[in-house]
Structure 1
Amino acid sequence: MKFSAVRDFIAVAERGSLRAASRYLDIPQPTITRSIQELEKELGVPLFERSARGVQLTSMGQAFLRRANAVRSELQHAKDEIAQLKGEMHGSLTVAMSSVPHLALLPGALKPFRSRFHGVTLRLIDAVLPKVEASLKDGTIDVYIGPALKESSDLRREKLFDNTFVILGRKGHPLANASSLAELVDAEWITTSITAKTDEGLNPLFRQYGLPPPRLVMQAESSLSFLVSMAYSDLLMMLPVQWLQFPLWQDVLQEIRVKEVLPAPPICIVHREGMPLTPAAEYFCDMVRRSIGHLQKLSRQR
């Protein structure tokens, strides 16, 4: 199988037509058509369904695209790794992180990383593992840092630290003096899930203490949505303790201290099993590990 055929296949799949792929690759369209035909003959299955509007992947084509993307990503990683081992500090690094490493670990890791690998383009994605797992497995994303509950044979998981939740609201919240979950049963909450049935945090917690389900009145997914919504309303949210420790928000949010224990998932580094990280990716992870010491110091001060 020729890599040029894989390249042509990915271009057609991503752009939806042979003509668009031809323009993108600057290769004559008949050459790409012939390349795809040879690939389909070699695999023994059709990869595309043709129509007047362009082409669409078949189910076999979708399966092959996942593998083809992994091949493309790994070749780019190999190119970056060789360059970095030669002392050429360029290439790219894509890291997905949840809010905890964004708030608590990135500040300490970013400056030394940029100093050491100043020519490497760093792409950061704000996400949790379920949303980026497929991209992590095919190599589109190099590293994920955040909560990771499930084990996977395709992914290597390194636990950085155990974590805990806190309940947050705006400064001066009318329930600021509450000391138990029972005193918060009438509060309105923000959740990352739209229904009580799918919420993975508050519902089981309230049920554990024999309380009625919390009133989940708002769904949000971005950190900015969380912050603005809490700051300008009486909505509450259960978030990792690092939200409370982040200096820029300490004048906006306050903790409502309850007696109940609020365990949070551990924070982990996750990447593909069996595939080495590039020097840039490995160094970034090292700087993240080094940042944990400062984080633990803050936890002791709380």
Structure 2
Amino acid sequence: MFQSIIEHGSFRAAAKALHQTQPALTQSMNELEKMLGTSLLIRGPRGVVLTEAGKLFEPRVKLVLKELERAVNEAKQLSTNSRGTIELGSSSLPFFTMLPSAVQRFHKRFPQVNINLTEGQLSELLPTLREGKLDFVIGATSPETVLTSDFIKEPFFTTPFAVVARRGHPLAQSTSLSQLKEAKWYLPTAKIGYYSELDALLFPEGEQKAQTIIRGDTAATALQMVINADFLTVAAKELLQVPYLNQQLCIIPIAEPLPDATYSFIYSHRLPLTMVAKTMIDKLHRECKNYPWYSKVEQ
């Protein structure tokens, strides 16, 4: 009830959503606040406002409800007609490689389990994971990537990266980063992970005013900017093995090697993985072994 009031912004809207009367909801909230010995909500002209105690209580309530939902899902998943949902966040490379096949194999075993996929970089996926809205995340990290203690990082695989352009780009035959000073770049908006440490390598003198650098976090936008607007980007070399992309993209043969990226499964330390989430991770491991660049990172 407390969570519903916050989500809907008022007692009236929450009561309607819960199919209860407003006085009954008010009475329940009064009993909760009496039990806690403090007020959680204040009714204002624009709806309810959280008190300081309410602001502390609300994120804990989210985690408790999410864990209860996971418990219910996992109990259901033990039946032969397993149901439930997997919430998976990932950067773009798995979407182009092993993820579709892993999902296909997973659904042969669990046809009634829903899978919700979210594309993004670690900097935007980790807050959602922390809130319990994702079961696990697949992201590119580096040895310097440090995560807070509420996350577990399970290494997945390593893969080489390169500077990528469209075929026929004026700078496509460049052999050093110094020759790319006038290039236009499309790079992820990454505050942590692999991409966050590339700026010092790509722009040793810092970002210059004359340079055009656009940042975003979806593969679709990156490909459009590279293919149709002559931007350069940094991507996994494996991306050029995708049939409809290898005819349009090329690797710029710069002498300076880019560091390999280590992809990891990341999940919450406080919220244990469900049985179906563990199964999905196992399917991804199995599918990844089909790629020649696959090299499992020892934990």
TM-score range, shorter chain: 0.7 to 0.9
Other-structure match for 2:100: 107
Counterpart pick for 1:120 among 110, 113, 117? 113
CA distance in 2, matches of 1:258, 1:103: 25
Letter in 2 for 1:157: K
- In the alignment, the residues of structure 2 paired with residue 162 and residue 17 of structure 1 have an alpha-carbon distance, to the nearest angstrom, of 49
Shift of 1:128: 2.1
Could you tell me which residue of structure 1 aligns to residue 256 of structure 2?
A: 260
Q: What TM-score, normalized to structure 1?
A: 0.87
User: Hey, what does 2:155 align to over in structure 1?
Assistant: 159
Residue 235 of structure 1 is matched in structure 2 by 231
Aligned-partner Cα distance in 2 for 1:95–1:293: 20
- For each residue in 1:237-264, what CA deviation from the matched residue of structure 2 results, as whole angstroms up to 9, or x when unmatched? 1123333233331122111121111115
**Does 17-26 or 141-150 show the bigger shift?**
141-150
Deviation sequence 1:253-282 (CA, Å, 0-9, x none):
111121111115421101112543222111
- Residue of structure 2 in register with 1:58 after alignment: 51
CA shift, 1:78, in A, is 0.9
Q: Find the aligned partners of 1:23 and 1:273 in 2 and give their Cα distance.
A: 36
How many angstroms apart in 1 are the aligned matches of 2:81 and 2:262?
35
The answer to whether the 8 A contact 1:155-1:270 is kept is yes
Contact kept? 1:97, 1:145, Cα under 8 Å: yes
| Shift in Å, 1:55 | 0.7
Who is 1:3 aligned against? none
Among 242, 246, 250, which residue is 2:242 paired with? 246
Distance 1:206 1:92, change over 3 A: closer
**Structure 2 counterpart of 1:273, from 260, 269, 275:** 269
**1:1-302 residue pairs with structure 2 within 5 A?**
8-148=1-141, 149-193=145-189, 200-207=196-203, 213=207, 215-295=211-291, 297-298=292-293
**What is the identity, as a one-letter code, of the residue corresponding to 1:64?**
F
Q: Deviations over 1:95-123 (max 9, x none)?
A: 11111222223123111011111101111
Q: Structure 1's 57 and 163: CA in aligned 2 closer, same or farther, altered over 3 A?
A: farther
Could you tell me which runs of 5 or more consecutive residues in structure 2 were left unpaired when the two chains were aligned.
none
Q: CA deviation at 1:202?
A: 4.3
Q: Matched residues in 1 for 2:70 and 2:206: separation?
A: 51
Partner SS state of residue 289, structure 2: helix
Q: Secondary structure at the match of 2:280?
A: helix
Helix, strand or coil at the partner of 1:225: helix
Aligned counterparts of 1:264 and 1:49: Cα–Cα separation in 2: 52
Gaps of 5+ in 1: 1-7
Q: Distance in 1 between matches of 2:108 and 2:271?
A: 26
Identity of aligned residues (%): 31
Q: C-alpha deviations, 1:173-194, integer Å up to 9, x for none?
A: 1111111111111211112349
Query: 1:78-106, CA deviations, whole angstroms, 9 ceiling, x for partnerless residues?
Result: 11111111223111111111112222231
| TM-score for both structures, normalised by structure 2 | 0.88
Number of residue pairs aligned between Structure 1 and Structure 2 = 287
- Provide the C-alpha distance between the structure 2 equivalents of 1:212 and 1:262, rounded to a whole number of angstroms: 17
Q: Distance in 1 between matches of 2:81 and 2:189?
A: 44
Aligned mates of 1:286, 1:171 — CA distance in 2: 37
CA distance in 2, matches of 1:12, 1:233: 47
